[in-house]
Amino acid sequence: MSSRITKAVIPAAGLGTRFLPATKAIPKEMLPVVDRPAIQYVVEEAVEAGLSDVLMITGRNKTTLENHFDRVAEIEALLEARGETEKLDRVRAATNLADVHYLRQGDPLGLGHAVLRAHQHVGDEAFAVLLGDDIMAGGGSLLSRMIEVHEATGASVVALQEVDPAMISSYGVAAYDASSSVEDGVPGAGPDTIQITGLVEKPALEDAPSNYAVIGRYLLRPEVFGVLEQTKPGAGGEIQLTDALQVLAANREELGGVVGVVYRERRFDTGNKLDYIKAIVELAVDDPKLGPALGPWLKQFAASIAE
Ligand code: UTP
């Protein structure tokens, strides 16, 4: 019923308007988080979950992305000559990480449109989609769990996080079978899963079917391509992946349905300024080299601004 997943698609063609003017000349996915661009964390996560064939859907500033995952012979030669092996290893790590392919989206007509562009590369297999601006603190653990759930159920799988009701209208939101609970889980898939019955993109608080928001990780059955071809522009005039997922969820018999995996670790939506800053601070505190100096300074600083 399920197929083995080998490919990851990373859409990185959005206009990143919330970060202007920083994103005038570089994609938001290339903004640095501590010592790496956000998208490198995402590629590392895909590789950790066993997916090393990566297709990036790129937009107008694609060269910076391509250069980042390519070799830069002059830098390598210079570091080698200086004997700076640690820096050299870090530079090479980005290059040797995965087998990265690139495809232009053309017009940024929405996330659903970006995913549809992957059809030819992916073919008739299930595949993963990782949003290039979403960082999971747990690395590849979420994606590995989603692959397990896909293998057990044959369904498409989305990652969910419980969000503050005040924030719900920024997300795609899941409706689920009220007779089931996350603790019971979907039969065969175990706890932390729910059977999704429908999805709504950016609902008003009073229309939100739950407070489970879809976050930037998906495992999709290839039937999604046929559905996306028929999907008309939705919220914001964009072709929404959520609208295609709604069709998959509503047609469990023919299209396999959609199961949600609830993620409870930290996640950073680096496409949003506040979360981007939190990502840098939290990941720097976790860093064994920066943390010991940053932590005490941060406490002092926090005390200085406390009322
Ligand atoms: P966002 O809605 O967060 O990206 O899309 P955006 O449109 O660039 O953001 P703002 O609001 O203008 O700041 C979520 C993900 O989908 C990709 C983005 O690059 C991001 O990773 N995306 C979005 C595409 O690849 N193509 C699109 O047409 C839209």
The rounded distance, in Å, linking the Cα atoms of 122 and 5 is: 10
Task: Indicate if ligand 1 lies below 6 Å from the C-beta of 11.
Answer: yes
Nearest CA, atom 4, ligand 1: 14
Nearest CA, atom 9, ligand 1: 16
For residue 1, is pLDDT > 70?
Answer: no
- Indicate the pLDDT class of residue 190, thresholds 50, 70 and 90: confident
The rounded distance, in Å, linking the Cα atoms of 115 and 117 is: 5
Task: Indicate if ligand 1 lies below 6 Å from the C-beta of 133.
Answer: yes
Dihedrals phi, psi of 14, to nearest 5 degrees: -65, 165
- The model's pTM is 0.94
The Cβ of residue 297 has, within 10 Å, a number of other Cβ atoms equal to 9
- Indicate the pLDDT class of residue 185, thresholds 50, 70 and 90: confident
Q: Two tokens at 180?
A: 């089931």
How confident is the model at residue 187, as a pLDDT?
81
**What's the sign of the alpha-carbon dihedral 123, 125, 131, 136?**
negative
Average pLDDT along the chain: 92
CA of 46 to the centre of ligand 1 (A): 19
Q: Tens digits of per-residue pLDDT, 233-256?
A: 888 889 999 999 999 999 999 999
The rounded distance, in Å, linking the Cα atoms of 143 and 158 is: 10
SS3 state of residue 173: strand
Over range 3-26, report the average pLDDT: 92
The rounded distance, in Å, linking the Cα atoms of 196 and 273 is: 30
Among 26-30, 67-71, 280-284, 291-295, name the one with the lowest average pLDDT: 67-71
Ligand 1, closest atom to CA 109?
Answer: 28
For residue 2, is pLDDT > 80?
Answer: no
Measured CA to CA in angstroms, residue 287 lies from 111, 237, 279, 281, 283 at distances of 32, 41, 12, 10, 6
The rounded distance, in Å, linking the Cα atoms of 3 and 144 is: 14
How confident is the model at residue 94, as a pLDDT?
80
Task: Indicate if ligand 1 lies below 6 Å from the C-beta of 18.
Answer: yes
- Indicate the pLDDT class of residue 184, thresholds 50, 70 and 90: confident
Task: Indicate if ligand 1 lies below 6 Å from the C-beta of 30.
Answer: no
How confident is the model at residue 87, as a pLDDT?
87
Task: Indicate if ligand 1 lies below 6 Å from the C-beta of 172.
Answer: no
- Indicate the pLDDT class of residue 61, thresholds 50, 70 and 90: confident
Q: Tens digits of per-residue pLDDT, 136-167?
A: 998 899 999 999 999 999 999 999 999 999 99
CA of 94 to the centre of ligand 1 (A): 23
Ligand 1, closest atom to CA 238?
Answer: 28
How confident is the model at residue 3, as a pLDDT?
61
- Give me the residues paired with residue 260 across strands: 158, 194
Among 111, 134, 269, name the best residue to mutate to test ligand 1's pocket (greatest count of ligand atoms within 8 A of Cβ). 111
Which residue is listed with tokens 């007509």? 109
Nearest CA, atom 7, ligand 1: 14
Provide the CA 145 distance to its chain's centre, in angstroms. 15
Is the pLDDT higher at 93 or at 301? 301
**Neighbouring C-alpha atoms within 13 Å toward the C-beta of 114:** 24
Over range 274-295, report the average pLDDT: 96
The rounded distance, in Å, linking the Cα atoms of 13 and 29 is: 9
